[in-house]
Amino acid sequence: METAARKGDLTKGPVGKQLLLFALPLLGASLIQQLYNTLDLLFVGNLLGKGGISG
C-alpha cells in the first residue's frame, strides 16, 4: 500500500516518468500564459492599432 508521502517522492521510481510528472504543471502554466499574451496582443492590436502594440 502506497502512503501519501511515498506518492509525492520524486526520488523513487523511473527518472523519465518522474521528470514528466514534475514538468507537466510547468508546461501547462507556460501554455496558459502564452495563450493569454497572444489574446492580449490581438485585442490591443484591434483596439489601438500598431502604435498600441509597439508601445
Closest CA to 47 of 11, 39, 21, 30: 39
Q: What is the pLDDT of residue 23?
A: 94
DSSP 8: T
Torsional sign, CA 24, 27, 32, 35: negative
DSSP 49: -
Q: Which residue has the cell 483596439?
A: 47
Model pTM score? 0.64
CA distance 21 to 50: 41
Q: What are 22's three cell numbers?
A: 514534475
Residue pLDDT, tens place only, 2-54: 555 556 777 888 899 899 988 999 999 999 999 999 999 998 888 887 777 77
